[in-house]
Amino acid sequence: MAAMALKITINSNPNTNGVLAPPPNKLQAHLLPSNQKIFGRRVLGSTPLSLKRSKRNWHVPLRVSSSSQSSASNPFDVVIIGAGIIGLTIARHLLLSSDLSVALVDAAVPCSGATGAGQGYIWKAHKLPGTDKWKLMMRSHQLWESLAKSIQLQSMDPLEVLGWKKTGSLLVSKTADESAMLRRRVEELSQEGLRAEFLSTNDLLSEEPELVLEKEGGAAFFPDDCQLDAHRTVAFIEKGNRRFAVEGRYAEFYHDPAIGLVRPENSCEVGAVQTSKTTLHSKKAVVIAAGCWTGSLMHDLIKQPDIELDLPIKPRKGHLLVIENFKSFKLNHGIMEAGYVNHQSATLKATASDLGPVYNAQDLSVSMTATMDASGSLVLGSSRQLVGFNTEVDESVINHIWQRVGEFLPALRKESLEDLRQSGEIRVGLRPYIPDGKPVIGLVPGFSNVFLAAGHEGEGLSLALGTAEMIADMVLTNPCKVDPAPFALLGRCFH
Ligand SMILES: Cc1cc2nc3c(=O)[nH]c(=O)nc-3n(C[C@H](O)[C@H](O)[C@H](O)COP(=O)(O)OP(=O)(O)OC[C@H]3O[C@@H](n4cnc5c(N)ncnc54)[C@H](O)[C@@H]3O)c2cc1C
């Protein structure tokens, strides 16, 4: 009797009318036109790409049904769902540290998710020692710094290749209370061995002349903090991964959403990933790294009577205003207002009964961030909203960001936002938000070979290499360099 497979099929897809397209030519998948890689960006004055994104209909409800085993095609050791910074770096780590073959599947292309909107801060300034994420962050930053050094050793410039800059970070206070908090932070991080100092408004006159604060303000300065350019970094990682394609160890399946996991009935091992166009057999593992879509995707993919799944990952919308070729002044460092720390964890506090709400998570919160990127663009942010999967630009949010940044960098008030927008772009991205503030990294309970890596909210670029190493070690059954227990799903998302 033919083996029966539990196959998850798409419920209704108005684009395909239930008819699956033929498998993509792998070579074609590697030769995507380069303009597709900027899918998630919106150039002002042009057709809003965000509109195109909002019409994507591949995150539709999925349905579980029994059917006979799909025809075998495309066997890989590991199939990764999601080619944002998390999926891409997991692929990279597996390719470099093992001889496994890897298929990378994305519903669109790598920078179409949160990754394409990321500001690129690889910072310790706003992280707290002793928290579960601290060690993962430290490991991840160590790996980023080693990568930047290795690029330099190959006679390339990390600034060109990754947009990598050791600008140092300034966490800025406006009030006496905030300044006291930042002084404590400087002390705490110094005790962890980081270079840190508190700068008064006078010190800041020379360090960051455009930053204007009242006398009770100041800044915690962390000279070793870095930043990268997400688009350059993604391009570099993709190029490196593609080198393994010639030996048959790597293939990309872009514009081809995963729509199902295929596994023999009563088995805890998934044997293949069904995409809209093909079946990708996974001999060793499946990794789900679908950013803010992971929650709904998992909910639909995994329906087991004995497992109660509650993966509360939601999209947290963020806007950034990017002014290209900005000449009026230069910033020496990356800047962020001290209130960002609460801004990032706003909903955590709102849901923690003993702390009382700081912000209403549904409402807009805007916190000043400002930096100059590798191309000389001024990048201003940032906003947070829990308003679903919509990626439309909201003009009122841009105005809020502009006003808030002007309170710290008053020279900007001399400029016209309208004029600057002619030579700029707005980036909108959906951060993968999870209420307890920690990414989920680990094996999905009830399965022996399905792993999850998602929920990095505003820290996915910063935590990517540490996350990738952790997942790769799990797949390869190596001991993890950082304790993975705090990031496990069991007890947090599965009961
Ligand atoms: C405005 C803004 C500023 C930020 N600034 C920073 C910063 O300075 N530093 C920092 O560390 N982080 C920052 N972040 C956060 C960071 O960008 C994210 O945490 C990170 O990009 C998340 O990566 P990801 O791979 O999990 O998700 P994504 O990049 O969203 O990737 C998920 C991918 O999964 C794909 N997908 C979804 N469903 C399916 C399916 N069914 N099948 C196949 N593929 C699917 C999507 O198409 C997408 O490409 C910022 C984010 C925003 C929005």
Coil, helix or strand at residue 102: strand
Identify the pLDDT of residue 331.
97
Distances (CA, A) of 39 to 52, 109, 226, 241, 254: 9, 7, 26, 20, 12
Q: Cβ contacts of residue 187 below 8 Å, gap of 6+?
A: none
pLDDT(271) > 90: yes
CA of 115 to the centre of ligand 1 (A): 4
* Nearest residue by C-alpha to atom 12 in ligand 1: 459
Banded pLDDT at 285 (limits 50, 70, 90): very high
Distances (CA, A) of 193 to 148, 165, 220: 21, 21, 15
Tell me whether the omega of the peptide bond preceding residue 382 falls within 30 degrees of 0, making it cis.
Answer: yes
Other CB atoms within 10 Å distance of the CB of residue 396: 9
pLDDT in tens, 124-174: 998 889 999 999 999 999 999 999 999 999 999 999 999 999 999 999 999
Banded pLDDT at 305 (limits 50, 70, 90): low
8: nearest Cα among 310, 314, 288: 288
Other CB atoms within 10 Å distance of the CB of residue 51: 12
- Residue 326 in tokens: 């900005």
Q: What are phi and psi of 196, to 5 degrees?
A: -155, 145
Other CB atoms within 10 Å distance of the CB of residue 202: 10
* 443 touches 63 (CB < 8 A): no
More confident residue, 231 or 267: 231
Helix, strand, coil in percent for the chain, rounding step 5: 35, 25, 40
Banded pLDDT at 55 (limits 50, 70, 90): very low
Banded pLDDT at 342 (limits 50, 70, 90): low
Banded pLDDT at 50 (limits 50, 70, 90): very low
Identify the pLDDT of residue 303.
67
Average pLDDT value for residue range 22-27: 28
User: For 412-436, b where at least 16 C-beta lie within 10 A, e where not — what string?
Assistant: beebebeebbeebbbbbbbbbbbbe
Query: Is the C-alpha dihedral spanning 405, 408, 412, 416 positive or negative?
Result: positive
* Nearest residue by C-alpha to atom 31 in ligand 1: 84
Give residue 50's identity as a one-letter amino acid code. Answer: S
Q: What angle do CA 283, 289, 292 make, to 5 degrees?
A: 150
Banded pLDDT at 343 (limits 50, 70, 90): low
pLDDT(412) > 70: yes
Q: Cβ contacts of residue 47 below 8 Å, gap of 6+?
A: none
Q: Cβ contacts of residue 317 below 8 Å, gap of 6+?
A: 383, 384, 385, 386, 387, 390, 391, 428, 429, 430, 431
pLDDT in tens, 190-216: 999 999 999 999 999 999 999 999 999
Average pLDDT value for residue range 217-236: 97
Other CB atoms within 10 Å distance of the CB of residue 360: 12
pLDDT over 90, % of the chain: 71
Average pLDDT value for residue range 19-23: 25
How far apart are alpha carbons 360 and 347 in whole angstroms? 7
Q: Cβ contacts of residue 411 below 8 Å, gap of 6+?
A: 210, 328, 329
At the topology level, CATH places domain 74-165+226-313+435-494 in: FAD/NAD(P)-binding domain (3.50.50)
* 259 touches 275 (CB < 8 A): yes
Compute the mean pLDDT over every residue in the chain, rounded to the nearest whole number: 82
* Nearest residue by C-alpha to atom 30 in ligand 1: 113
Bridge partners, residue 169, by sequence: 222, 334
Ligand 1 atom closest to residue 290's alpha carbon, by position in its atom list: 34
Average pLDDT value for residue range 69-90: 84
Our mutation pick for probing the ligand 1 site, out of 42, 54, 115, 457, counting the most ligand atoms within 8 A of Cβ, is 115
Q: Residue with structure tokens 């951060």?
A: 431
* 384 touches 428 (CB < 8 A): no
Within 6 A (CB) of ligand 1 lie: 58-59, 81-87, 105-108, 110, 112-115, 117-121, 257-258, 289-293, 297, 318, 320, 381-382, 429, 431-432, 454, 456-462
Q: Alpha helix (H) ranges present in 243-387?
A: 294-301, 340-344, 346-351
- Backbone dihedral region of 455: left (phi > 0), alpha (psi from -120 to 50 degrees) or beta? left
Banded pLDDT at 405 (limits 50, 70, 90): very high
Banded pLDDT at 495 (limits 50, 70, 90): low
How far apart are alpha carbons 270 and 249 in whole angstroms? 20
CA of 430 to the centre of ligand 1 (A): 7
pLDDT in tens, 444-492: 988 999 999 999 999 999 999 999 999 999 999 999 999 999 999 988 8
Banded pLDDT at 73 (limits 50, 70, 90): low
* Nearest residue by C-alpha to atom 52 in ligand 1: 118
- Lowest-confidence region among 2-16, 253-267, 276-290: 2-16
Banded pLDDT at 46 (limits 50, 70, 90): very low
pLDDT over 70, % of the chain: 79
How far apart are alpha carbons 414 and 398 in whole angstroms? 17
Q: Cβ contacts of residue 112 below 8 Å, gap of 6+?
A: 39, 40, 53, 106
347: nearest Cα among 389, 393, 390, 314: 314
- Residue 84 in tokens: 């944002």
CA of 240 to the centre of ligand 1 (A): 20
Average pLDDT value for residue range 350-371: 60
pLDDT(5) > 50: no
Identify the pLDDT of residue 363.
76
Identify the pLDDT of residue 103.
98
More confident residue, 417 or 358: 417
Identify the pLDDT of residue 193.
95
* 445 touches 248 (CB < 8 A): no
Identify the pLDDT of residue 491.
81
Identify the pLDDT of residue 214.
92
Identify the pLDDT of residue 298.
87
Identify the pLDDT of residue 160.
98
Identify the pLDDT of residue 392.
95
Length of the chain: 495
- What DSSP element (H or E) covers 22? none
Concatenated DSSP letters of 215-283: TT-EEEEETT-EE--HHHHHHHHHHHHHTTTTTTSEEEE-S--EEEEEEETT-SS--EEEESS-EEEEE
How far apart are alpha carbons 190 and 179 in whole angstroms? 16
How far apart are alpha carbons 251 and 103 in whole angstroms? 5
Identify the pLDDT of residue 304.
67
Average pLDDT value for residue range 219-242: 98
User: For 213-224, b where at least 16 C-beta lie within 10 A, e where not — what string?
Assistant: beeebbbbbbee
Ligand 1 atom closest to residue 456's alpha carbon, by position in its atom list: 19
Identify the pLDDT of residue 309.
76
- Residue 343 in tokens: 């801004």
